[in-house]
Amino acid sequence: MYAIIDIETTGGNASRERITEIAIYIHDGKKVVNEYSTLINPECKVPPFVARLTGISDEMLVNAPKFFEVARDIVEITEGCTFVAHNAAFDYSFVKQEFLNLGYKYKRPVLCTVKMSRKLLPGHPSYSLGNLCSSLGIQITSRHRASGDALATVKLFERLLSVDPTLSQIPTDGLHPSLDRSIFSRLPLTAGVYYFHDENGKLLYIGKSKNIHARVLSHFQNSTTSKAIEMRSNTASISFEETGSELIALLLESDEIKKHKPLHNRLQRRTLYKYGLYSLYLQSGYRMLQIEKIKSTGKPHTVFASFDEALVLVHDIVAKYNLCQKLCGLYQNHGACFQHSIGQCSGACIGIEPADEYNLRVDAALKEFRHKWTDMAIIDHGRNEDEVSVVLIENNVFAGFGWMSNEESISDPIKIKDFIRPYSDNRDVHQIIKGFLNTGKALKIIRF
């Protein structure tokens, strides 16, 4: 899968300038299968010459979302994809820097259509997007706007694929001689769990994804680390189990890793979650939020697989509930936090806002992570249109999951039990289910 991306910015230096617009077209090697675009408030002025070039003015950006508000969307839509852009080093450097500003390391394999065009379409006097598309008869609508330029890059990318179809195929170098290459065309585009086996059938790695095909291909296109190359060269066969449901994929992956302890899942053998969001009351009376490694004592309000994931969520709730950066562990300097200097923090960081007023908003934010662990059935997508998936909580314990026909009654707990595969209840399972419920992605929740 390919994320074909174009951005507009306030200038040319990623460390000093900001993104004002982004457009993303997800391409499966044959056609566009998803798209996303938005203006972005850069939290700074757009220079006049940039505004004249792009047509994007300060007035257009006042009510646009800030980058941290769209960061999760960008991570999710590009998950398992190769980052494709015309002069990709420019676009990729800006996107990486915006995420670094949030404390998040954004990393994707990268393809540059300038470099590919020079190789596959030699002889053109210029390889700028405008000139090259003009030479090839590719029309660009809305030049110097992210969506128009990204769509032109899509058409250019498809032209490059017609010259060299192997661009959309898995690399042939470094693969195990026993690996059946046809497996890549048979991998489903749906949620589930996938397994990498060595030549003796021993499990090397277990993973999960909302799109098995895209995620497995991203593994085999990854040559950035010695571990990735080693796993790719040792994988002699690939198997998978479709779940349809992202929640069941998470639960099944957790159980399988604990059961089989694959070589390349070392970090996930004990727990999928390493960090938690904790709170404490300071002597001044303010309630402070902190991201910390999971502790043996004390219960976190919610948990995260990585510190980066935790940072993104904390940035979200700071903006949503007008919390103080300093009292949420995002600003380490003495004195007022940055948000106070621009009028977006009411001064809890320097004791201006009363603690009891501030704490009310902290409590409201933390309520998002509270779920009463009662008997329930969580209904989600099935493996096809004729069924739904069910995760059952019974007697305050995770009982297991399964799939039911749409025609069956999903409100009858006795009938539901007939379709449930029993699985072990443990701390990771509770955190997975709690985290999924926090997203609001379930199709339906039935409480008994």
End-to-end Cα distance, the chain: 41
Averaged pLDDT, 261-273: 70
- Average pLDDT in the chain: 87
Domain match, 189 and 321 both: no
With respect to residue 27, please indicate whether it lies within any of the assigned structural domains.
yes
Total tally of structural domains belonging to the chain: 4
User: Within a 10 A sphere around the Cβ of 387, how many other Cβ atoms?
Assistant: 18
d(CA 123, CA 203): 49
Give the strand pairing for 110-112 and 82-85: parallel
**What are the residues whose beta carbons fall under 8 Å from the beta carbon of 431, sequence distance 6 or more?**
272, 273, 303
pLDDT tens, 277-297?
A: 899 999 999 999 999 887 766
Q: What would the DSSP string read from start to end of 9-30? A: ESSS-TTT--EEEEEEEEE-SS
Question: Using 50, 70 and 90 to split pLDDT, how confident is the model at 357?
Answer: very high
pLDDT tens, 85-117?
A: 998 889 999 999 999 888 888 888 788 888 888
Domain match, 193 and 337 both: no
φ/ψ (deg, to 5) at 41: -70, 115
Domain match, 22 and 151 both: yes
Q: What would the DSSP string read from start to end of 200-263? A: TS-EEEEEEESSHHHHHHHHHT--SSHHHHHHHHH--EEEEEE-S-HHHHHHHHHHHHHHH--G
**What are the residues whose beta carbons fall under 8 Å from the beta carbon of 221, sequence distance 6 or more?**
82, 109, 170, 171
Can you say how many angstroms the Cα of residue 223 is from the centroid of all Cα atoms in its chain?
A: 21
- Provide the pLDDT for residue 115: 86
- Provide the pLDDT for residue 246: 93
With respect to residue 43, please indicate whether it lies within any of the assigned structural domains.
yes
Which SS3 state, helix, strand or coil, does residue 352 take?
coil
Last residue of a domain, one of 266, 283, 300: 266
Last residue of a domain, one of 323, 342, 369: 369
Residue 360: is its pLDDT beyond 90? yes
Question: Using 50, 70 and 90 to split pLDDT, how confident is the model at 40?
Answer: very high
**What are the residues whose beta carbons fall under 8 Å from the beta carbon of 445, sequence distance 6 or more?**
376, 377, 378, 379, 437
**What are the residues whose beta carbons fall under 8 Å from the beta carbon of 111, sequence distance 6 or more?**
2, 82, 83, 84, 88, 167
- Provide the pLDDT for residue 342: 79
Domain match, 120 and 252 both: no
pLDDT tens, 132-188?
A: 888 888 888 887 899 999 999 999 999 988 887 766 666 667 889 999 887 887 888
CATH of the domain at 94: 3.30.420.10
Domain match, 41 and 139 both: yes
Domain match, 284 and 357 both: yes
Joined tokens for residue 177: 């001689």
Percent of the chain surpassing pLDDT 90: 41
With respect to residue 230, please indicate whether it lies within any of the assigned structural domains.
yes
The answer to whether the beta carbons of residues 372 and 393 sit under 8 Å apart is no
Across-strand partners of 111?
84
Q: What would the DSSP string read from start to end of 278-325? A: EEEE-TTS-EEEEEEE--SSS--SEEESSHHHHHHHHHHHHHHHT--S
With respect to residue 95, please indicate whether it lies within any of the assigned structural domains.
yes
Q: Which long-range contacts (CB under 8 A, 24 or more apart) does 222-231 make?
A: 222/109, 223/171, 223/174, 224/107, 224/109, 227/264, 229/174, 231/196, 231/204, 231/205, 231/264
pLDDT tens, 217-266?
A: 888 877 778 888 899 999 999 999 999 999 999 999 999 998 898 988 87
Across-strand partners of 420?
402
Domain match, 143 and 34 both: yes
The answer to whether the beta carbons of residues 194 and 212 sit under 8 Å apart is yes
Last residue of a domain, one of 135, 166, 197: 166
Across-strand partners of 228?
none
With respect to residue 178, please indicate whether it lies within any of the assigned structural domains.
no
Domain match, 249 and 336 both: no
With respect to residue 171, please indicate whether it lies within any of the assigned structural domains.
no
With respect to residue 176, please indicate whether it lies within any of the assigned structural domains.
no
Domain match, 365 and 380 both: no
Q: Which residues are marked as active site?
A: 144
Amino acid letter, 101: N
Domain match, 187 and 159 both: no
Domain match, 196 and 48 both: no
CATH of the domain at 203: 3.40.1440.10
C-alpha angle with apex 340: 335 to 344, nearest 5 degrees? Answer: 160
d(CA 251, CA 432): 7
Domain encompassing residue 326: 275-369
Residue 427: is its pLDDT beyond 80? no
User: Within a 10 A sphere around the Cβ of 319, how many other Cβ atoms?
Assistant: 15
Phi-psi group of 94: left, alpha or beta (phi > 0 → left; psi -120 to 50 → alpha; rest → beta): alpha
Domain match, 101 and 217 both: no
